[in-house]
């Protein structure tokens, strides 16, 4: 037991840590970034191509052979064009990320790839003979050389006119195309002549034939998925030879001329890729049968496709790509499945696969067809699925705990989530997206997130009646940064992750440090993105699974300064939150997108007036305008808070968040406002300092109570 505990601790604290570190280093590499981005970009094409193949197989089974052939040719055409598409997307990503000319990079890359393909192939349709490895290799070399040379041109000819630079770049582009074509052509035509005959023969018959090579084969097909690369596409040429050999062997076996081989493409399809590469049907079943799993959002788009062994939504949506935790079972499960199935077949517990079955035929059904209806094979199929679930389960649990306890490391993964995929049709949006991504990676590598708390004060006695949780970034050098970085997460549609982290951490701090202070409200900010996120109520349920400490209430502040795209849905969500005992506050009222119907549309308990209304107090009519806004808010029977109060004069006029001076406070109170928040009272403070403030606040309250008695 002690040894097991030591191994588990080492695995979590050393191995997983090293993988996370390696992932960060890898994804900061331009080549890796472009490979992952281009792999993600062709996912829709890969899914469409797979669905066409599924339809083709179904059409063939029902007797529509002409239609099946037409669909198969269509999916094959998509397959042929994927390397060109991937090369183009790689050029697009590299150009945008490094702020180069998209047209220039696309032109040079496509021309180089076509020239290389023509030099390798003598076929008239040579551009259809390009493979994914060739496209990747060409893209890496061309983009790297072109980017480096453009940098040198800018450096050396910085003072020259644009025309001179363009002329130099034009001739270098021709040179790049010619150079890459020559190198690739030389490798293609002359490398094999330098290789001994037995190695050449081995490469031509590199499909698996023994137990060990078969195990290596399935592992190598899974590993590229860490970078988003489809193993099927990378091994396409090998698989073609493998399939031809297997079909010939099955035909010879039926004729009685040969023994049936254990290994074949059908063997891997039936036993090792159940639900898709990685045997992800087992993972999907783990998620389905795990109560309150944080990954349940992926079930909807994944289950229908998993039936036909298509798992791109699961791989890119969970994700598996660039995920150092889940890539382990993704490789391990197929390997274990291979060992079990190979052993069972070699010991004649189940028959060898004797019927060719397409990989898109659903699991169990494909086993039934491939083994001529063997019940033992069906039972083994279920056993392998169950074993896969047992392997995936602890890794999924570890991944969930890791995200929960270290949100600053997992708030945003590389651009592998399908929902975060940039719109390549809008180059400006793409640039902003990549810039935001860079800032997020810099934040994650330079420090971590912490919470500060800013008290809200009742003006009549200046007692603290609540506090707002505010996120800050603490650098490795100890520097505390304000939340200006939130705009980058907003651009990446990742605000829900930030809001959920703040919510969970704030309530955790409350239970650990603030539970003995009573009669208080804990406020947390929530963006419009978060209000319509399907995970919201799961997070709320988890947070409130235990009651809040006595006398405490949770308050959600919806940010009025951001546009609400689905007001009806937001109103329904807020109503449900109210039913759970959560208070609702409208933050930054008067700052941006608000309309008067916000006051009647949403079930508000508190309205926080923006600091801009306080600043306007010094202008003619500013105080009167503030008083009218306050009266309007009070009609809704909401508490009114004013932000940014810095002076007593401002404070006397209205209760507004952000009171910073005695003059502001005086103005706030003259407007009939009872609550305030701002620098005049307290700046945002870390948890240890806020505890000291609350101690003094309680002591003052007790002293006042004694004087009254």
For 228, the 3-state DSSP assignment is: coil
* Rounded average pLDDT over 224-232: 77
pLDDT band at 561 (very low <50, low <70, confident <90, very high): low
pLDDT band at 329 (very low <50, low <70, confident <90, very high): very high
Q: Is the pLDDT of residue 396 over 70?
A: yes
* Rounded average pLDDT over 186-202: 48
pLDDT tens sequence across 332-369: 999 999 999 999 999 999 998 888 888 888 899 989 99
DSSP output for 331-350 = HHHHHHHHHHHHHHHHTTSS
Strands (E), 496-637: 520-526, 552-559, 583-589, 606-609
Which comes out higher in pLDDT, residue 502 or 559?
Answer: 502
Tell me the backbone φ, ψ of residue 428, rounded to 5 degrees.
-65, -45
Q: How high is the pLDDT of residue 407?
A: 43
49/124 Cα distance (integer angstroms): 24
pLDDT band at 409 (very low <50, low <70, confident <90, very high): very low
Region of residue 130 (phi > 0: left; psi between -120 and 50: alpha; otherwise: beta) = beta
* Rounded average pLDDT over 86-97: 81
Going by their DSSP bridges, the two strands 675-677 and 480-481 should be labelled as unpaired
Virtual CA dihedral for 15, 20, 21, 23, nearest 10 degrees?
120
Question: In the predicted model, what is the mean pLDDT of the chain?
Answer: 75
- Give the residue from 419, 462, 412, 463 showing the smallest Cα distance to 441: 412
Which comes out higher in pLDDT, residue 200 or 603?
Answer: 603
* Rounded average pLDDT over 416-430: 40
Cis peptide before 319 (omega within 30 of 0): yes
Question: Structure tokens of 500?
Answer: 């959920």
Which comes out higher in pLDDT, residue 122 or 529?
Answer: 529
Q: What percent of the chain has pLDDT over 70?
A: 69
Query: Please, what sign has the CA dihedral across residues 74, 80, 82, 87?
Result: negative
How wide is the angle at C-alpha 676 spanned by C-alphas 673 and 678, nearest 5°?
145
449/501 Cα distance (integer angstroms): 9
For 676, the 3-state DSSP assignment is: strand
Q: Is the pLDDT of residue 232 over 60?
A: yes
Q: How high is the pLDDT of residue 546?
A: 85
Which of 100-114, 175-189, 343-357, 561-575 is predicted most confidently?
Answer: 343-357
Spatial contact of 58 and 101, defined as CB atoms under 8 Å apart = no
Question: Structure tokens of 707?
Answer: 């004087």
pLDDT tens sequence across 460-514: 778 888 899 999 988 888 888 888 888 888 877 788 888 989 999 999 888 888 8
Q: How high is the pLDDT of residue 334?
A: 93
593/614 Cα distance (integer angstroms): 18
In DSSP terms, 467 is beta-bridged to 455, 522
Q: How high is the pLDDT of residue 198?
A: 41
Q: How high is the pLDDT of residue 368?
A: 92
Q: What percent of the chain has pLDDT over 90?
A: 9
Comparing 210-214, 298-302, 522-526, 593-597, the range with the smallest average pLDDT is: 593-597
In terms of C-beta density within 10 A (0-12 exposed, 13-18 middle, 19 or more buried), how is residue 112 classed?
Answer: buried
Q: Is the pLDDT of residue 302 over 70?
A: yes
275/280 Cα distance (integer angstroms): 5
pTM recorded for the entire structure: 0.52
């Amino acid at each position: 037991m002690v040894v097991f505990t030591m191994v588990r601790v080492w695995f979590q604290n050393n191995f997983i840590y090293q993988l996370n570190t390696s992932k960060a280093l890898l994804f900061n590499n331009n080549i890796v970034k472009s490979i992952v981005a281009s792999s993600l970009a062709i996912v829709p094409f890969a899914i469409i191509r797979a669905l066409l193949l599924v339809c083709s197989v179904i059409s063939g089974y029902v007797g529509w052979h002409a239609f099946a052939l037409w669909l198969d040719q269509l999916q094959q055409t998509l397959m042929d064009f994927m390397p060109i598409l991937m090369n183009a997307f790689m050029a697009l990503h590299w150009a945008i990320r490094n702020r180069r000319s998209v047209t220039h990079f696309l032109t040079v890359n496509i021309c180089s790839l076509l020239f290389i393909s023509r030099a390798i192939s003598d076929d008239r349709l040579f551009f259809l003979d390009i493979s994914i490895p060739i496209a990747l290799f060409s893209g890496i070399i061309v983009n790297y050389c072109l980017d480096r040379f453009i940098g040198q041109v800018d450096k050396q000819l910085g003072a020259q006119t644009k025309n001179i630079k363009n002329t130099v770049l034009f001739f270098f582009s021709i040179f790049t195309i010619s150079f890459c074509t020559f190198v690739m052509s030389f490798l293609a035509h002359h490398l094999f002549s330098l290789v001994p005959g037995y190695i050449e023969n081995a490469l031509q018959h590199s499909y698996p034939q023994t137990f060990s090579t078969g195990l290596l084969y399935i592992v190598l097909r899974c590993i590229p998925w860490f970078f988003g690369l489809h193993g099927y596409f990378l091994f396409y040429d090998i698989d073609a030879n493998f399939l031809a050999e297997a079909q010939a062997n099955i035909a010879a076996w039926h004729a009685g001329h040969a023994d049936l081989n254990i290994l074949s493409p059908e063997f891997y399809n039936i036993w090792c890729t159940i639900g898709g590469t990685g045997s992800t049907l087992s993972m999907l079943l783990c998620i389905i049968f795990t109560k309150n799993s944080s990954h349940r959002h992926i079930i909807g788009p994944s289950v229908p496709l998993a039936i036909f062994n298509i798992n791109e939504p699961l791989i890119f949506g969970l994700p598996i790509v660039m995920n150092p935790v889940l890539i382990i079972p993704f490789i391990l499960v197929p390997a274990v499945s291979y060992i079990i199935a190979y052993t069972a077949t070699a010991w004649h517990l189940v028959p060898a696969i004797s019927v060719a079955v397409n990989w898109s035929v659903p699991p169990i059904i494909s086993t039934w067809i491939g083994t001529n209806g063997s019940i033992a094979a069906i039972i083994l199929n279920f056993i392998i699925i169950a074993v896969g679930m047992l392997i995936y389960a602890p890794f999924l649990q570890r991944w969930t705990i890791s995200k929960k306890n270290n949100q600053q490391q997992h708030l945003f993964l590389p651009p592998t989530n399908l929902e975060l995929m940039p719109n390549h049709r809008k180059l400006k949006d793409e640039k902003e997206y990549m810039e935001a991504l860079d800032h997020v990676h810099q934040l994650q590598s330079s420090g971590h997130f912490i919470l500060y708390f800013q008290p809200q004060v009742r003006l009549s006695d200046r007692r603290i009646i609540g506090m707002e949780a505010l996120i800050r970034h603490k650098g490795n050098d100890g520097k505390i940064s304000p939340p200006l970085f939130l705009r980058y997460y907003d651009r990446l549609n990742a605000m829900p992750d930030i809001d959920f982290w703040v919510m969970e951490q704030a309530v955790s701090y409350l239970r650990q440090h603030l539970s003995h202070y009573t009669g208080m409200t804990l406020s947390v900010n929530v963006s419009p993105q978060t209000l319509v996120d399907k995970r919201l109520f799961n997070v709320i349920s988890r947070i409130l699974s235990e009651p809040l400490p006595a006398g405490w209430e949770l308050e959600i502040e919806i940010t009025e300064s951001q546009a609400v795209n689905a007001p009806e849905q937001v109103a329904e969500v807020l109503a449900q939150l109210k039913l759970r005992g959560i208070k609702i506050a409208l933050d930054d009222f008067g700052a941006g997108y608000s309309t008067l119907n916000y006051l009647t549309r949403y079930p508000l308990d508190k309205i926080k007036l923006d600091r801009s209304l306080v600043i306007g107090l010094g202008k003619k009519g500013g105080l009167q305008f503030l008083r009218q806004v306050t009266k309007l808010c009070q009609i809704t029977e909401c508490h009114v808070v004013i932000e940014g109060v810095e002076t007593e004069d401002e404070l006397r006029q209205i209760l507004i968040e952000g009171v910073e001076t005695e003059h502001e406070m005086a103005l706030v109170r003259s407007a009939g406002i009872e609550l305030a928040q701002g620098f005049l009272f307290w700046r945002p403070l870390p948890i240890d300092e806020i505890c000291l403030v609350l101690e003094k606040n309680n002591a003052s309250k007790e002293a006042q109570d004694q004087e009254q008695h």
